[in-house]
């Protein structure tokens, strides 16, 4: 069902809702397209006219800094017209339904909606009800998926580590409530990563996580042994019910990434975090700001990756997009 929503009859992206079910070819096509957009950010004039005349609406029902801002920058660098809807003052605050909000914005000739919502499945529901010329990108839905974050993460991994097939990747923290972790696992599996490890206390580990092709660990040092990539996660306290950790200090003692724990990984291991970081809870500042951290490059790469996804959805075939970019260079 999701694949029918995401891909058109030619196998091209028409929506970007989840990593699950996407082919390795499609994921690599996005990564390769993103690579070609990196240079745009290095120009004096950081624009290409690929999406000139297109209208993109950022529809964020949850607070966001990095994701919303990088989507806005990405769309503007593609020369699209961008609208950021203030949900607090929109008609949804007066009782209008989500679909009615979208339909009213459709009537204003919107081409693409970037949607973040606290309810899992919100982006899928909208995609199932919009006309064929309107497109949806999921910027995070509940605890379900955050596919563009997963794509910028694997892009960053490839930039620093090259081929995926021999890598060992550890995902650490609140895996139970993390949409990033779910999307990341699907992306890494599809790209053929040798080993994916999930490190968390039992209260924050999904039941039967092994079914996702992941090796679970409750001991952080054991889980970090000889890994190439360490992906830290934020504690999703807003999605927790009840006390799932004894205390913040004890959590940091056991699962916070410190230089001593990082020493268990390979010497050239990279450290990642989707943000926002809670220093002293999930990660020590010495690690976050240290030489193995690629946290800020993740943010930069997010612009190129989101440009790539928008371009592939709205800008025609990859060949057409490449030809237009070459003409604009």
**Is 116 an active-site residue?**
yes
Domain shared by 172 and 128, yes or no:
no
Digit-coded pLDDT (tens) for 247-305: 889 999 999 999 999 999 999 999 999 988 999 999 999 999 999 999 999 999 999 99
Question: Can you give the pLDDT at residue 89?
Answer: 56
Angle of the 147-161 helix axis to the 295-314 helix axis, nearest 10:
120
CA–CA dist 260, 257 (Å, integer)? 8
Q: Do residue 131 and residue 155 come from a single domain?
A: no
- Is position 67 annotated as part of the catalytic site? yes
Residues 289, 153 share a domain: yes
Task: Give residue 261's domain range.
Answer: 147-296
- Beta carbons of 20 and 186 less than 8 angstroms apart: yes
Our answer to whether residue 24 is catalytic in this structure is no
Split at pLDDT 50, 70, 90, the class of 315 is confident
Concerning whether 146 is annotated as a catalytic residue, the answer is yes
**Higher local confidence (pLDDT), 250 or 323:** 250
- Pair 117, 234 in one domain: no
Residues 141 and 266 placed together within one structural domain of the fold? no
Which phi and psi (to 5°) does residue 298 adopt?
-55, -45
Give the span between the Cα atoms of 210 and 13, in whole angstroms: 30
Per the residue annotation, which of 54, 116, 135, 234 is the catalytic one? Answer: 116
Assess whether 101 and 19 both reside in one domain: yes
User: Do both 103 and 185 map to the same domain?
Assistant: no
What b/e sequence results for 57-93 when a residue is b if at least 16 CB atoms lie within 10 Å of its CB, and e otherwise? Answer: bbbbbbebeebbebbbbbbbbbebbbeebebeeeebe
Note whether 116 and 213 are same-domain residues. Answer: no
Return the pLDDT at 248: 86
Average pLDDT, integer, range 166-182: 94
**Cross-strand pairs, 55:** 81
> Number of folded domains in the chain?
2
Give yes or no: residues 214 and 110 share one domain. Answer: no
pLDDT digits (tens, 9 = 90+) for 21-66: 999 999 999 999 999 999 999 999 999 999 999 999 999 988 788 8
Annotated catalytic residue within 146, 186, 234, 306: 146
Q: What is the CATH number of the domain that holds 213?
A: 3.40.50.1370
Residues 8 and 141 in one domain: yes
25 in active site:
no
Q: Does the pLDDT at position 240 exceed 60? A: no
Same domain? 135 vs 39: yes
**57 and 191 part of one domain:** no
């Amino acid at each position: 069902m999701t694949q029918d929503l995401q891909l058109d009859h030619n196998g091209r992206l028409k929506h970007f809702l989840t990593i699950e079910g996407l082919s390795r070819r499609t994921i690599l096509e996005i990564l390769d397209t993103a690579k070609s957009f990196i240079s745009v950010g290095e120009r004096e004039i950081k624009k290409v006219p690929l999406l000139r005349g297109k209208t993109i609406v950022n529809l964020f029902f949850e607070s966001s800094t990095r994701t919303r801002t990088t989507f806005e920058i990405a769309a503007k660098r593609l020369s699209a017209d961008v609208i950021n809807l203030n949900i607090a003052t929109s008609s949804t605050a007066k009782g209008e339904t989500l679909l009615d909000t979208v339909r009213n914005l459709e009537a204003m000739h919107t081409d693409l909606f970037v949607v973040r919502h606290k309810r899992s499945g919100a982006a899928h529901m909208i995609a199932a009800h919009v006309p064929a010329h309107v497109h949806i990108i999921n910027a995070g839905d509940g605890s379900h998926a955050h596919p563009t974050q997963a794509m910028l993460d694997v892009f960053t991994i490839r930039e620093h580590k090259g081929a995926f097939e021999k890598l060992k990747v550890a995902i650490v923290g609140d895996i139970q409530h993390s949409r990033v972790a779910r999307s990341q696992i699907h992306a890494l599996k599809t790209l053929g990563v040798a080993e994916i490890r999930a490190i968390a206390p039992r209260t924050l580990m999904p039941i039967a996580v092994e079914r996702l092709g992941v090796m679970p660990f409750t001991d952080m040092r054991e889980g970090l042994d000889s890994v190439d990539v360490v992906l830290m996660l934020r504690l999703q306290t807003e999605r927790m019910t009840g006390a799932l950790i004894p205390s913040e200090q004890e959590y940091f003692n056991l699962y916070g990434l410190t230089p001593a724990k990082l020493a268990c990984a390979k010497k050239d291991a990279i450290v990642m975090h989707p943000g926002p970081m809670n220093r002293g809870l999930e990660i020590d500042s010495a690690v976050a700001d240290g030489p193995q951290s690629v946290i800020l490059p993740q943010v930069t790469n997010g612009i190129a990756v989101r440009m790539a996804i928008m371009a592939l959805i709205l800008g025609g075939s990859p060949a057409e997009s490449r030809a237009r970019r070459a003409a604009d260079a």
